[in-house]
Amino acid sequence: MDKVLVVGGGGREHAIITKLAESPLIEKLYCTPGNGGISKYAECFGVGATDIDGVVQLAKQLQPDMVVVAPDDPLVMGMVDRLRAEGFRTFGPVADAAIIEGSKVFSKELMKKFNIPTAYYEVFTESEKAINYLKQQDSYPAVIKADGLALGKGVIIAQNEEEAIKAVHDMIDELKFGKSSARIVIEEFLTGPEVSVLSFTDGNTIVPMISSMDHKRALDGDQGLNTGGMGTVSPNPYYTEDIAKECMEKIFLPTVSAMKAEGRTFEGCLYFGLMLTPKGPKVIEYNCRFGDPETQVVLPMLDADLYEIFNAIYDHKLDQVDIKWHEGSCACVVMASGGYPESYPKGIPMEGFDDMGQVEGCFVYHAGTKLDDEGRFLTNGGRVIGVTAKGSTLREALDTAYKGVDKISFEGAHFRKDIGQRALKALN
């Protein structure tokens, strides 16, 4: 029987841990840093997810049979490389492959070189040249992206020249996202429904997971600021079988072989952020990891042993695993702290949970919670929990998830009331 260490501490990691817990091959789950809710399902440690030396030390102490690195930063920083060098079995790409998320310039150049459909773009390191280009294009909205990781905030959709120029100055001259925005990409604005497709890949075989739809804006009706994601539904009704076939042929397989051809074989979860444009599906972004909160609606639909899949990826035998999906739908509604995605308080007491941090009928994935000395749940982050439910239909899944939301309260809590509405319309 195996022991597994998961690195990370959000709703995504909670979803990975509860799915791994179903595996008959695992006897013990560890998580670092974890959070209040995760601590009910895995033994948690105080080492931060970006502390590479600390995680390597912890792994040496715990001797897990596998280390799963879930967040983007440690992957891009090379945590998997270090763990592998110490002889650990791992899940997640090495740094050379994680660059597919770590540098938008890299990913755009990859797509251009291998004819993978994406928005037209130019790269800039000087604000003057970027501004001249914007003036010459004179086309709005304009999409301006920081090259490197920026906590999901490095994309500005500028509605006019003034906003675009400000974004360029903020990024290149003021280094708003540090080194990450010293280089920027300016790209064509695309339209169409967005789809998230996570996939398992061992570098040769790629198995797309069930599709999902994120809701990135803070407020109902897709208003307000961009967030890490306020809710998700799965499957995504816009992602038909025909579109899935087209994506496999024009995007998924070519990406995996492009990475291999570049000497950057990608092993782990490769996330495709797609836009279904009038001219066909195009890549908006790649992530080198499970999405958050996509994972919270995708993994509950998985009808297979996640640990067996992780092992098959490590051993390059993904083609030998039978991966099935449950019928029906899954929905996740994120409850966030008052003020999120800007500044928000922490340490607010939460009501409505049972001892495990759960409510009846749903699964509550904890993202930003902690336990106080008396074992009560307190808020401890912007996105606090993701209340998740399955149903035979999307409507049923949403009704159950919102019933769960009604049972939980904390001062200042806010959540979107229209998660899944666009998907429901698409189904009718």
Q: Note whether 64 and 88 are within 8 A (CB).
A: yes
Q: Which is nearer to ligand AMP, 148 or 203 (CB)?
A: 148
Q: What residues from 134 to 173 belong to the interface with ligand GLY (CB under 6 A)?
A: 152
184 binds, among ligand AMP, ligand GLY, none (CB under 5 to 8 A by kind): none
Q: What residues from 273 to 312 belong to the interface with ligand AMP (CB under 6 A)?
A: 273, 284-285
* In the complex, least distance from residue 42 CB atom to ligand AMP, rounded to whole angstroms: 29
Residue 194 touches ligand GLY, criterion: CB under 6 A? no
DSSP state of 202: -
* Contact window for ligand AMP (CB under 6 A) among 20-28, 183-191, 291-299, 341-349: 183-191
Can you read off the two tokens belonging to residue 193? 């429904």
- What residues are paired with 196 via a beta bridge? 212, 273
d(C-alpha 38, C-alpha 50), whole Å: 18
* In the complex, least distance from residue 241 CB atom to ligand AMP, rounded to whole angstroms: 24
* In the complex, least distance from residue 294 CB atom to ligand GLY, rounded to whole angstroms: 6
Residue 227 touches ligand GLY, criterion: CB under 6 A? no
Given 177, 294, 379, 385, the residue binding ligand GLY (CB under 6 A): 294
Tell me which residue of 114, 188, 175, 109 sits closest to 146, measured CA to CA.
Answer: 175
Can you read off the two tokens belonging to residue 199? 């996939």
Given 8, 34, 208, 229, the residue binding ligand GLY (CB under 6 A): 229
Q: Note whether 401 and 359 are within 8 A (CB).
A: no
d(C-alpha 404, C-alpha 72), whole Å: 30
Provide φ and ψ at 82, rounded to 5°. -65, -40
* In the complex, least distance from residue 393 CB atom to ligand GLY, rounded to whole angstroms: 24
Q: Note whether 8 and 31 are within 8 A (CB).
A: yes
Whether the CA torsion 390, 199, 31, 72 is positive or negative: it is: negative
Given 292, 344, 402, 416, the residue binding ligand GLY (CB under 6 A): 292
143 binds, among ligand AMP, ligand GLY, none (CB under 5 to 8 A by kind): ligand AMP
287 binds, among ligand GLY, ligand AMP, none (CB under 5 to 8 A by kind): ligand GLY
- What three-state secondary structure class fits 360? coil
Tokens 């003036």 belong to residue: 135
Given 122, 194, 396, 399, the residue binding ligand AMP (CB under 6 A): 194
